[in-house]
Amino acid sequence: MQTSAWVVANRPAAPTGATRLAAVIGSPVRHSLSPAIHNAAFAHSGADWTYVALEVAPGRGAQAVEAMRTLDIGGLSVTMPHKAEVAQAVDVPSRSVQALGACNCVYWDGDALHGDNTDGDGFIASFEEESGVSVAGRRLTVLGGGGAARAIIEALGRSGAEGIHVWSRSEKTAETAAEIAEQAFSGPIEQVSDSSILINATPIGMSGGPNPHEIPLPADLIDQHLIVHDIVYEPRETPLLATARQRGAIAIGGVGMLVHQAARQFSHWTGLPAPTTVMRQAVLNGK
């Protein structure tokens, strides 16, 4: 389908008095792709929902959760800097939220507000869909120790990974992140040679970031036996992905994780299966 026809077919319907509202809260948040992703999914699914971006000042995440109760908002996506505060404000945190102390999705179940962190499971769904390989029983290396890396490590631990090698430029950061999963351990970057899967969960290579033209490890540590998954999605072809392809490795970009973490949020809110193909197209269209 041509892009213009796709946009028309997935244009959100005009809101009605019965329309449910979902929103992403963060600061800054106006650049978010989430409204395009979720509004396309709502339109495609025939769900009478609409989605907006709400700028919420730092320190007011808990107030946003209370506003959700007051205004009967149907669902929230949560981004920086509110994930930790919202994790404390929900009624029922998921296992992932409890482990990570960070929540990126709030949804209703009866009269209770539940919190989840969909990043890790979104990563695994993306990886397994695009690689055709299960993470269970595998040895992996995760680069980074921030929020995304921690979510991925936690989900890998639940999914039966055999070993999770964690490396960060800060040894302490790596050690702390490795505490999240029983199978995880920190160690020198050279230990990537023991892994069959390499995951970049750092911002290195991201457009607009501090290191847009760099890769997060020496190129000679990447060989053809590796599957390399870079969670950076802008640009679509990061320097790491280009290097991995040049060296004969399988390379997977970050759009799939963005889509699948959003898909889990969509299903939490609506109870419907998420139209991931439509959501992916919304990202690629950049609308």
Domain CATH code at residue 15: 3.40.50.10860
Q: What is the largest CA-CA distance in the chain?
A: 59
Specify the CATH number for the domain of residue 182: 3.40.50.720
pLDDT tens readout for residues 116-173: 999 999 999 999 999 999 999 999 999 999 999 999 999 999 999 999 999 999 999 9
pLDDT surpassing 50 at residue 114: yes
Range 251-266 average pLDDT: 97
Tokens of 69: 């109760």
Q: Is residue 159 domain-shared with residue 214, that is, in the same domain?
A: yes
Confidence label for 210 from pLDDT (cuts 50, 70 and 90): confident
Q: Is residue 66 domain-shared with residue 130, that is, in the same domain?
A: no
Tokens of 1: 């389908």
Domain with 208 in it: 120-253
Q: Is residue 269 domain-shared with residue 175, that is, in the same domain?
A: no
Q: What's the chain's length in residues?
A: 287
- Provide the pLDDT for residue 244: 98
Range 217-234 average pLDDT: 96
Residue that is written with structure tokens 């869909």 in the block: 129
Q: Is residue 128 domain-shared with residue 72, that is, in the same domain?
A: no
- Provide the pLDDT for residue 227: 98
Give the H or E element holding residue 143.
strand 139-143
What amino acid positions are annotated as catalytic residues? 83
Q: Is residue 105 domain-shared with residue 128, that is, in the same domain?
A: no
Q: Is residue 246 domain-shared with residue 133, that is, in the same domain?
A: yes
Q: Is residue 135 domain-shared with residue 208, that is, in the same domain?
A: yes
In single-letter form, the type of residue at position 278 comes to V
More confident residue, 18 or 194: 194
Q: Is residue 130 domain-shared with residue 179, that is, in the same domain?
A: yes
Please state the domain count of the chain. 2
- Provide the pLDDT for residue 35: 96
Q: Is residue 149 domain-shared with residue 64, that is, in the same domain?
A: no
Q: Is residue 227 domain-shared with residue 241, that is, in the same domain?
A: yes
**Cα(64)–Cα(25) distance, integer angstroms:** 8
Residue that is written with structure tokens 């025939």 in the block: 46
Q: Is residue 151 domain-shared with residue 248, that is, in the same domain?
A: yes
Of residues 284, 279, 286, the one with CA closest to residue 10: 279
